[in-house]
Structure 1
Amino acid sequence: MDEISVAEFRTDVFDKEYITLNGTREGIVVGGRHLLDRLPRAFEGVDQIGVIGWGPQASAQSQNLRDSLAGSDVRVVVGLRAGSASAGAARAAGFTEQDGTLGEMFEVIAGSDMVLLLISDAAQAALHEQIFAALRTGATLGLSHGFLLGYLDQQGARFPEGIDVIAVCPKGMGASVRALYLQGAETNGAGINASFAVEQDVTGRATDRALGWSVGLGAPYTFRTTLRSEYLSDLTGERAILLGGVHGIVESLYRRFREQGMGETDAYRHSVDCVTGPISRTVSRDGLIGLYQRLDDAGREIFARAYAAAYPVGLELTHEIYDEVRSGNEIRSVILAGERLARFPMGRIDRASMWRAGEVARRDRDDEQLPLDPFTAGVFCGVMMGQIDTFIEYGHPYSEIANESVIEATDSLNPYMHARGVAFMVDNCSTTARLGSRKWAPRFDYLLTQTAYPSADDTNTQWDTTLVKAFEQHPIHEVLRECARLRPSVDIFVA
């Protein structure tokens, strides 16, 4: 991975602040509605921002930027492929051909000074040559994911030399990016955290444009990364604790509790509801160590045994996933799967008995009465810490580690899973994430069931107490406390 100095970036428009995470000073920009009047300066030289696509991120980002730039000379235009089925939804959101804010994607690309390419990863890979050819010299190409860089690396190709290449990557679902932006009209600072990266800066304005983009989306704070670091951590994270890992965890725990004699509803509440409810809410506010400290002595003993059994699984599998992403295998897998999907479309997972039980359990659920099961907490935290330590080993900045491993899970994705079920998330996220979850969740399920749980249940074997001591003393706890200072005062809004 390329090393980055996360502290040192220069902005002439926004106020840079510093946070110290495990002894490393990192620069951030704190957002808010009071900064929207600075956006015209940030976008100096930009008359038109083209947002390409109308998926969850594209629809949210185009509307947020349009609203943030209202009254300025910068126009936001949505670009869609000819005959797109999404055109009606874009018109319903106020983008129309009549006023020039909706058009054919390549015409919009050619007519824009800043192009936010928010179509699917597979489409970016398939169309990148045409897209690059349509870009103006001196234009800014914006991405919300580093997948395209990984694909270009595989092809031995590069971004065109005459353009800026930047990224702003919200750490949450597109629906939340939009819903929290709207909530921010009354609660300044409500929003989804974002990372930013500058891959190429030919105009000298790339950093301010990236920060303006993030502030315009409503990000409460924006931290720096690189495009390569972002796609390594993002692709790994969504296959591990953010999606694939949590899917495998709750599937295995549900079966475990059923085998121990629990009914369907109780098993669901001790597994899925426990992770997405009290565990996530506690970690969001008080961190991982706060969750541990909330347990009584007996609960900590159970947590510790489960954690010591699950952590090696989380560490091993996250390392394997990271290697597959870094080698390019995971990107190739997504591209190849995309070529098969027309013939073999992805099925839904929400028809299995566990998820049908969840529909029943959610009907009369009382969140205040949900159990905080210490075994479930130990397993979830063990797998999460395995991802954290993998990212530390590979040199990712702590702001990225905290957001990609903990904050995005507990503040953004898990609340959606709590409202709709993990199956809903797995069936409704991006194609890349859906493929990754389906591929890796069974691996988490298998290793937890076959190795972790028997180890935790073996009372004749002394479990590794050094793992729990390392957890208690881990620097991530202070990192999360520092990040919590920047947390919006409102919880994520689930539409």
Structure 2
Amino acid sequence: MDFETTVFEKEYIELGGRREAIVRGGRHLFDRLPHALAGVGQIGVIGWGPQGSAQAQNLRDSLNGTVKVAVGLRSGSRSFEAARAAGFREEDGTLGEMFEVIAASDMVLLLISDAAQTDLHEKIFATLRPGTTLGLSHGFLLGYLADRNETFPAEVDVVGVCPKGMGASVRALYLQGAEVNGAGINASFAVHQDVTGHAVDRALAWSVALGAPYTFQTTLRSEYLSDLTGERAILAAGVHGVVESLFRRYRENGMRDEEAFRLSAESVTGPISKIISRDGLRGLYERLSEDDRSVFAQAYAAAYPVGLELTHEIYDEVESGNEIRSVVLAGKRLGRFPMGKIDQSTMWQVGQKVRGNRAESEIPLSPFTAGIYCGVLMAQVDTFLAKGHPYSEIANESVIEAVDSLNPYMHARGIAYLVDNCSTTARLGARKWASRFDYLLTQLAYPAMDQGAAAIDLAPFTAFEDHVIHDILRVCAEMRPPVDIFVE
């Protein structure tokens, strides 16, 4: 997999013996954006959710009037006021009804919800002019179309640019980038259809204009398979199920609620994530004492089979279309059966108290918690390896997005807060799959630990020690933005 660009410098990195092409971003490239976007008079950003609002503002600021950026919203949307407050106006044509903006735009970035994309895609496709570049920041719509044996319109480009962080961080780190060189959220890009012959440069211009320090290549299909699987595994549902099972286990072993929370959720989103972010998975293990390494190894080996079984099942459900169909069907039920929140249960109420009195230096680095969490995480890595995903995508969707984006956000706000406030697609996945991780860890992994070392096959941990992911993360760490994720 490779690409050609006539505007930006393509570089190559070596990841675990494989060569991948990337583009390095930076504000010094902003003057190249009009050339990369030749033939684009207007970019229409459709939607004002977290990604839509962030991307519209970043694009407007980076292009600085050389290409018009217009926001398109549904008639009567409450987001009109928020868009006006950010400087978009009906009077100058930078704000309008979504289908009018789509019809007037040469590049349309479709950043409305997955449910809205599936509901409105036929009308959206009919409104696109031939030669338009359709941009997506998530491949859900491709999966939906494939399941229905449908395709994108043949006369338009289809590209993806997928920031590896939440919308608030995409905007906040872009603003920090004015003062801190390299601040921003890395992104992946994909070209699914190139009708105009300019799709690569337009996609890369989009990513650079968002402030991405580095842009990695993938395919739209690979992106949605890894993204949907990842949020149903270690990125959201998996971490949710892991920490709930650990919290309950620690309480059953006689710990006070507050200490059980520190050893489970706080340990994962605090020191475990911070060490992995800076030093990698092997660096986390090496940070432990000799005795703690033994605990880590046994916990890792006990949790890994659970994670591998479930992540393969999730991947199969996504790839077959079952998971996408379940999201669409659930969306139709939400009017009658709205999703409840999890933040009123005992664990998450305890978490509010713990965060309110938090002393970072007192959060324990639990080798047992670290082993369980890393065992499930590495199961996702190995699932993606088995399915042939690019190494950079495996690292981003399994490790980097967790420890550099989502876990820090959960550390600040709470895991329950993220589960209750992420996208509808991710919330549905968290509700559906977290309990599976919880139950199987409780039913299989922890009983094995209780039976002693003789009951645990350490082969998964032996494979961990020399795993290719360590070299991949070492290279990716060199491309880590110099500032941590922004959390309001």
Distance, in Å, in 2 between the alignment partners of 1:19 and 1:142 is: 26
Q: What one-letter code is carried by the residue in structure 2 that aligns with 1:64?
A: N
Partner of 1:122: 115
Q: Which residue is 2:213 aligned to?
A: 220
Q: In the alignment, does 2:398 pair up with 1:398?
A: no
Q: Aligned-pair distance for 1:112?
A: 0.1
> Shift of the alpha carbon at 1:468?
1.2
Q: Alpha-carbon deviation of 1:202? A: 0.7
Q: SS of 2:43's equivalent? A: strand
Moved more, 459-468 or 364-373: 459-468
Gaps of 5+ in 2: none
What's 2:304 paired with?
311
Residue equivalent to 1:51: 45
8 Å contact 2:189–2:217 — kept in the other structure?
yes
Match of residue 364, structure 2, among 360, 364, 371:
371
Distance in 2 between residues matched to 1:153 and 1:314, nearest whole Å: 28
Q: 1:418-457, aligned counterparts within 5 Å? A: 418-457=411-450
- Aligned residue among 273, 282, 289 for 1:280: 273
- 5 Å-filtered alignment, 1:196-211, equals 196-211=189-204
**Corresponding position of 1:467:** 460
The answer to whether the Cα contact below 8 Å between 2:109 and 2:134 also exists between their aligned partners in 1 is yes
Displacement, 1:460? 6.6
Partner of 1:85: 78
Cα drift, residue 334 of structure 1: 0.4
- For residues 408 and 362 of structure 1, the distance between their equivalents in structure 2, rounded to whole angstroms, comes to 22
1:99-120 deviation digits (Å, cap 9, x = unpaired): 2111000000000000000001
Q: Which amino acid aligns with 1:203?
A: T
Q: Secondary structure at the match of 2:45?
A: strand
Q: How far 1:407 moved relative to its partner?
A: 0.2
Letter in 2 for 1:355: W
2:129 to 112, 127, 136: 136
State the Cα distance separating 1:461 from its structure 2 match.
2.9
What is the CA–CA distance in structure 2 between the aligned matches of 1:355 and 1:114, rounded to whole Å?
43
Paired residue for 2:34, among 35, 40, 48? 40
Contact 2:49 2:111 in 1 (8 A): yes
Where 1:461 maps in the other structure, the secondary structure is helix
SS at match of 1:235: helix
2:298–2:453 Cα contact (<8 Å) kept: no
Q: Which of 95, 98, 104 is the matching residue for 1:102?
A: 95
Deviation for aligned residue 1:192: 1.0
Q: Structure 2: which amino acid aligns with 1:400?
A: E
1:212-251 aligned within 5 A: 212-251=205-244
Structure 1 runs of 4+ aligned residues shifted over 4 Å read none
Out of 326, 342, 359, which is 1:349 matched to?
Answer: 342
**For residues 458 and 444 of structure 2, what CA distance do their matches in structure 1 show?**
18
2:329 is aligned with 1:359: no
1:420-442 C-alpha deviation (Å, 9 max, x unpaired): 00001011111000000100000
Q: Deviations over 1:304-332 (max 9, x none)?
A: 11000000011000000000000000000
Find the aligned partners of 1:402 and 1:344 in 2 and give their Cα distance. 36
Q: Which moved further from structure 2: 37-46 or 138-147?
A: 37-46
In structure 2, what residue type is equivalent to 1:163?
V
Partner of 2:168: 175
Residue deviations 1:107-139, cap 9 Å, x none? 000000000000011110111010000001100
Give the whole-Å Cα distance in 1 for the aligned partners of 2:357 and 2:303: 31
Long gaps (5+) in structure 1 = none
Q: Which residue of 2 aligns with 1:329?
A: 322
Residue 63 (1) aligns with residue 63 (2) = no
**Matches of 1:278 and 1:370 in 2, distance apart?**
7
Which secondary structure state, in structure 1, belongs to the residue aligned with residue 454 of structure 2? coil
Task: Supply the distance in 1 between the matched residues of 2:90 and 2:20 (Cα, whole angstroms).
Answer: 43
- Alpha-carbon RMSD across the aligned residues, in angstroms, is 0.8
Give, in whole Å, the separation in 1 of the partners of 2:89 and 2:257: 49
Q: Which amino acid in the other structure matches residue 49 of structure 1?
A: I
Distance of 2:286 and 2:453 partners within structure 1: 27
Q: CA deviation at 1:71?
A: 3.9
Amino acid of the structure 2 residue aligned with 1:216: A
Displacement of 1:156: 1.0
Q: Measure how far apart 1:23 and its partner are.
A: 0.9
Paired letter, 1:50: G
